[in-house]
C-alpha cells in the first residue's frame, strides 16, 4: 500500500514536471514570436521607400516559407504591381501569376482589373542582393503549385493585396497564416507611410517650385511690391520697390515697422504711405493713391501710384488681415503726358477763342446788315412778284445763321476746354453773387427751347422763388450742359422737365428726359472727362464728353452734389444740389 502511494506521488511529480516543461516551451515560443515580430517591425519602420519595404517583407516571409515569388498589388490609377522573384521565373509562370492576381483581387473589393493591361505595367523588382541560382540551375516550371493571397489593410481600408506563389504544392501551411497576416499588416502600414511621404515630398517640391517661381516673378516685376505683416512690419520688398523708394534715403529693409521709419525719417510722404498700409490692415482695399516722392525742383516730380490690399488667411481661421500687399507704380511719365496735354488744351483753347470771337462778331454784323436790307425790300415792294423768302439775301441770311449757330457751338466747346484746364490746374474760378435761381432756370429753358423747336421743355418750380448766393454764369453753364444732353439724347418731339425742389438745406434741380437712358456699364464713367456713351443709338450725336465733367466740377465747387437716376430705354434724370445760403424770399411769379 505504501509502495502504491509512493508510486502515485512519483507519477504526480512527473506529470507536474512535464506540464511545467510544456508551459516553458510555450512561453519560449511566444517570446521568440514577439522578438521576431519586433525585429520585423523595426525593419519596416526603417524602410524609407517602397523598395526597402519590399526587401523587409521578402526577408520576413523567407524566414517562414520557401517560395518562388512575392507579389504586391496596390490600388491606384493605374494599379501598381510589383513582382519580387526568389529566382528567375519563366514567362508562362509570370503570366499565370498575373492571371491569379487579377482573379483574386476581384474577390476582395478591387475594381475590375484587366490582366493583360496589368501585365504591361507590372514591375519586376529583382534587387542585386536576392540569391539568384547559379548557372545551370533549373528555372521554375509553368505550373503554380501553391498560392496565398492576403489583403493589405490600413485602418480597415484595403490598399492592396499580398500574393505568394510557389511551384510546389502545400508550401503555405495554415498554422503560419496568422503570422503571415501580421507581417502583411506591417507591410501595409509601411507602404501607406511611404505613399504619404512620397505625396508629401511631391507637394513640398511643388510648393518649393511655386515659391521659387513666385520669387522670380516678384524680383522681375517692373512694379514695386511691398509686403508687411499684421503689425505693419516690412516682410518683403522687391528690387523695383527699393529703387522707387530710394528717394527717401531711408532703410526700407525687411523687419522694420513702417511706424518706426515714420518716427525716424523726415520724408514728408512717408506718413501717407503708412496711412495707406494701415487702411489695408483695417480690411479696406485702397487703389490708385498717388504720392509724390521726387524732389520739388523737378518739372514733374517722381510720382507713385499705390494700391494696397489686405492679406487674408486662406484657412479662414483668422478673420483679420495677416498682412498687406502694396503695389507701387511709377506714374511720372503719365503725369508728364497729362501736363503736356493740359498745356496743349489750354493753349489751343486760348488760340481758338480769338478767331472765334472775330468770326462771331463779323457774322452778327452781316446778319444785321442783311436783315436791314430785307426790311427795306419789304417796305419798298410790299407786293413784289418774288417772295422775300426766295430772295438771294434770304438765302444769305439762313447761311449766316448756320455759321453763327456753329460758331456758338464752337465757343461752348472752347469754354469747356478752358474750364477743363482750370479744373485740372485745381483753381476753377467762381464769382459769387446774389440772384434768383428760378430766373436762371427760366432763362436757360428759353435759350435752349429756341433751338429745340421739336422738343417740349417744361419748367416745374415746386418751391418759392428764393435768392441764393452762387456763381450765376457757372450755374447757367451747368443747367445748359445738362439741358443740351437731355435734348441731344431725346427723340424728336420728346418732353424734357426742369424741376426745382428744396430738400434739407439744399436746392435740388432735376432735368428729366425721355431719351435713350444710360446702360449700366457707363454708370461709373458718366462724369469723367472726354467720356461719351458709344453705341449704335448715339453715334449721330456730337460732343467731346466734357459737359458733364465740367458741370460736376462747378457743382462740387459750390459744395453741392450731382448724380443721375436711370431708366434705360425710357429716359434718365440728372440732379444737382446747391446749398441754400442766407437769402431773402419773394413771392413766386411765373
- pLDDT tens-digit map of 386-417: 565 667 778 788 888 888 777 877 877 788 77
Helix (H) / strand (E) element for 274: namely helix 270-281
Cα separation of 57 and 60, whole Å?
A: 5
Helix (H) / strand (E) element for 324: namely strand 323-330
- Which of 99-108, 242-251, 344-353 has the lowest average pLDDT? 242-251
pLDDT at position 203: 93
Is the confidence at residue 509, as pLDDT, over 90? yes
Average pLDDT score over the chain: 79
Q: What is the 3-state secondary structure (H, E, C) of 489-508?
A: CCCCCCEEEEEEEEECCEEE
Is the confidence at residue 164, as pLDDT, over 90? yes
Instruction: Give the pLDDT confidence of 9-52 residue by residue, as tens digits.
Output: 555 555 555 555 556 666 776 766 777 778 888 888 888 888 88
Please give the grid coordinates belonging to residue 386. Answer: 418774288
pTM for this structure?
0.52
Phi, psi of 162 (to 5 degrees): -100, 130
Cα separation of 272 and 270, whole Å?
A: 5
Identify the CA nearest to 550 among candidates 472, 470, 481. Answer: 481
Q: How sure is the predictor about 227, in pLDDT bands with cuts at 50, 70 and 90?
A: confident
Cα separation of 238 and 219, whole Å?
A: 6
Please give the grid coordinates belonging to residue 530. Answer: 472726354
Cα separation of 26 and 20, whole Å?
A: 10
Q: How sure is the predictor about 344, in pLDDT bands with cuts at 50, 70 and 90?
A: confident
pLDDT at position 165: 94
Mean pLDDT of 157-170: 91
Cα separation of 41 and 180, whole Å?
A: 13
DSSP assignment of 522-580 equals GGGGTTSTT----SGGGTT----S-HHHHHHHHHHHTT--EEEEEETTTEEEEEEEEEP
pLDDT at position 467: 82
pLDDT at position 216: 87
Cα separation of 297 and 587, whole Å?
A: 58
Any idea which residue has 505595367 for its cell? Answer: 121
Instruction: Give the pLDDT confidence of 171-196 residue by residue, as tens digits.
Output: 888 778 888 899 999 999 999 999 99
Is the confidence at residue 247, as pLDDT, over 80? no
Please give the grid coordinates belonging to residue 84. Answer: 519580387
Mean pLDDT highest for which of 350-354, 449-453, 558-562?
A: 558-562
Domains along the sequence of the chain with CATH: 24-131+139-199 (3.30.450.40), 222-330 (3.30.450.20), 336-423 (1.10.287), 429-579 (3.30.565.10)
Phi, psi of 554 (to 5 degrees): -65, -45
Is the confidence at residue 570, as pLDDT, over 80? no
Is the confidence at residue 74, as pLDDT, over 80? yes
Q: What is the gyration radius of the CA atoms in the chain, in angstroms?
A: 48
pLDDT at position 536: 44
CA dihedral of 537, 540, 546, 549, whole degrees rounded to 10 = -20
Any idea which residue has 422738343 for its cell? Answer: 455
pLDDT at position 138: 46
pLDDT at position 586: 43
Half-sphere exposure of 55 (CA within 13 A, CB side): 16
Pairwise pLDDT comparison (226 vs 6), residue with the higher score: 226
Q: Percent of the chain at pLDDT above 70?
A: 81
Contacting residues for 122 by C-beta, under 8 A, at least 6 apart: 81, 82, 83, 98
Q: How far is CA 573 from CA 33, 454, 498, 566, in A?
A: 93, 20, 10, 6
pLDDT at position 206: 92
Amino acid at each position: 500500500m505504501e509502495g502504491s502511494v509512493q508510486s502515485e506521488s512519483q507519477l504526480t511529480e512527473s506529470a507536474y514536471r512535464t506540464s511545467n516543461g510544456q508551459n516553458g516551451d510555450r512561453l519560449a515560443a511566444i517570446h521568440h514570436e514577439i522578438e521576431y515580430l519586433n525585429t520585423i517591425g523595426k525593419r519596416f519602420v526603417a524602410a524609407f521607400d517602397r523598395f526597402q519595404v519590399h526587401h523587409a517583407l521578402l526577408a520576413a516571409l523567407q524566414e517562414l516559407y520557401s517560395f518562388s515569388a512575392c507579389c504586391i498589388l496596390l490600388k491606384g490609377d493605374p494599379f501598381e504591381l510589383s513582382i519580387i522573384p526568389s529566382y528567375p521565373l519563366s514567362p508562362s509562370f509570370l503570366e499565370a501569376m498575373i492571371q491569379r492576381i487579377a482573379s483574386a483581387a476581384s474577390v476582395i473589393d478591387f475594381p475590375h482589373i484587366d490582366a493583360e493591361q496589368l501585365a504591361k505595367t507590372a514591375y519586376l523588382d529583382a534587387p542585386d542582393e536576392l540569391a539568384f541560382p547559379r548557372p545551370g540551375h533549373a528555372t521554375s516550371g509553368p505550373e503554380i503549385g501553391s498560392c496565398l493571397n492576403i489583403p493589405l489593410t490600413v485602418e480597415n481600408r484595403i490598399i492592396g493585396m499580398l500574393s505568394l506563389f510557389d511551384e510546389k504544392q502545400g508550401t503555405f501551411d495554415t498554422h503560419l497564416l496568422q503570422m503571415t497576416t501580421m507581417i502583411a499588416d506591417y507591410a501595409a502600414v509601411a507602404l501607406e507611410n511611404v505613399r504619404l511621404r512620397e505625396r508629401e515630398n511631391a507637394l513640398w517640391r511643388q510648393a518649393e517650385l511655386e515659391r521659387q517661381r513666385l520669387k522670380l516673378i516678384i524680383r522681375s516685376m517692373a512694379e514695386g511690391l511691398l509686403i508687411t505683416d499684421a503689425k505693419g512690419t516690412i516682410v518683403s520688398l522687391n528690387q523695383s520697390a527699393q529703387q522707387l523708394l530710394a528717394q527717401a534715403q531711408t532703410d526700407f529693409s525687411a523687419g522694420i515697422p513702417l511706424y518706426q521709419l515714420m518716427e525716424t525719417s523726415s520724408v514728408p510722404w512717408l506718413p501717407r504711405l503708412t496711412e495707406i498700409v494701415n487702411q489695408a490692415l483695417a480690411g479696406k482695399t485702397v487703389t490708385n493713391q498717388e504720392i509724390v516722392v521726387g524732389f520739388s525742383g523737378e518739372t514733374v516730380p517722381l510720382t507713385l501710384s499705390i494700391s494696397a490690399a489686405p492679406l487674408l488667411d486662406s484657412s479662414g481661421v483668422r478673420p483679420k488681415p495677416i498682412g498687406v500687399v502694396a503695389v507701387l507704380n511709377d506714374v511720372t511719365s503719365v503725369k508728364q503726358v497729362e501736363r503736356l496735354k493740359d498745356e496743349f488744351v489750354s493753349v489751343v483753347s486760348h488760340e481758338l477763342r480769338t478767331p472765334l470771337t472775330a468770326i462771331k462778331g463779323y457774322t452778327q454784323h452781316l446778319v444785321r446788315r442783311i436783315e436791314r436790307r430785307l426790311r427795306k425790300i419789304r417796305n419798298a415792294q410790299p407786293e413784289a412778284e418774288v417772295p422775300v423768302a426766295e430772295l438771294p439775301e434770304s438765302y444769305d441770311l439762313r447761311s449766316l445763321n448756320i455759321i453763327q449757330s456753329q460758331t456758338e457751338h464752337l465757343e461752348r466747346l472752347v469754354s469747356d476746354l478752358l474750364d477743363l484746364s482750370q479744373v485740372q490746374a485745381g483753381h476753377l474760378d467762381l464769382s459769387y453773387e446774389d440772384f434768383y435761381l428760378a430766373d436762371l432756370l427760366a432763362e436757360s429753358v428759353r435759350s435752349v427751347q429756341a433751338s429745340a423747336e421739336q422738343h417740349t421743355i417744361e419748367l416745374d418750380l415746386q418751391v418759392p422763388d428764393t435768392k441764393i448766393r452762387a456763381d450765376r454764369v457757372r450755374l447757367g453753364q451747368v443747367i445748359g450742359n445738362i439741358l443740351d444732353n437731355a435734348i441731344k439724347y431725346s427723340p424728336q418731339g420728346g418732353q424734357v422737365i426742369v424741376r426745382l425742389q428744396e430738400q434739407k438745406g439744399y436746392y435740388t434741380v432735376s432735368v428729366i428726359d425721355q431719351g435713350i437712358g444710360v446702360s449700366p456699364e457707363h454708370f461709373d464713367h458718366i462724369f469723367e472727362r472726354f467720356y461719351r456713351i458709344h453705341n449704335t443709338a448715339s453715334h449721330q450725336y456730337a460732343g467731346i464728353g466734357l459737359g458733364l465733367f465740367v458741370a460736376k466740377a462747378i457743382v462740387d465747387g459750390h459744395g453741392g452734389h450731382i448724380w443721375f437716376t436711370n431708366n434705360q430705354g425710357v429716359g434718365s434724370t440728372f440732379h444737382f444740389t446747391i446749398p441754400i445760403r442766407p437769402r431773402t424770399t419773394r413771392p413766386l411769379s411765373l
